[in-house]
Amino acid sequence: MSVTPSDIEKVALLARLAIAETDLPDVTERFSRVLSLVNELNTIDTDGVIPMSNPHDMEQRLREDRVAHPSDREALMASAPAQQDGYFLVPKVID
């Protein structure tokens, strides 16, 4: 499986990354190298093997339904690039 610049552009959009036209060939080439590395996976038969998400196959612990102490909005929003009246601000979105 090889990758074209157009493929890279589609993936980049999904990931919200902008790749300059001039960089695209290079990015594609380097990406292809990684893909070649990864394509090694095609050579092993894993029929019937259960995929592993957590190395110890642990089970989820449950938390009591209780309200924790209130969070500090000011402290948490101190890093906000744009805020007003308690809202985070982004350029206007039209639905």
Q: Is residue 81 at the binding interface for another protein, with CB under 8 A as the rule? A: yes
Among 2, 18, 21, 22, the residue binding another protein under the rule CB under 8 A is 18
Q: Using CA of residue 28, residue 29, residue 31, residue 37, what is the dihedral sign?
A: positive
Pull the structure tokens for residue 86: 């308690």
Shortest distance in whole angstroms from residue 22 CB to another protein:
14
Q: Coil, helix or strand for 83?
A: strand
Q: Is residue 21 at the binding interface for another protein, with CB under 8 A as the rule? A: no
Q: Cβ of 8: how many Cβ atoms within 10 Å?
A: 20
Shortest distance in whole angstroms from residue 25 CB to another protein:
14
What is the Cα–Cα distance from 14 to 63, expressed in whole angstroms?
A: 34
Residues near another protein (CB under 8 A): 3, 7-8, 11-19, 27, 30-31, 33-42, 44, 46, 49-56, 58-68, 70-73, 75-82, 84-95
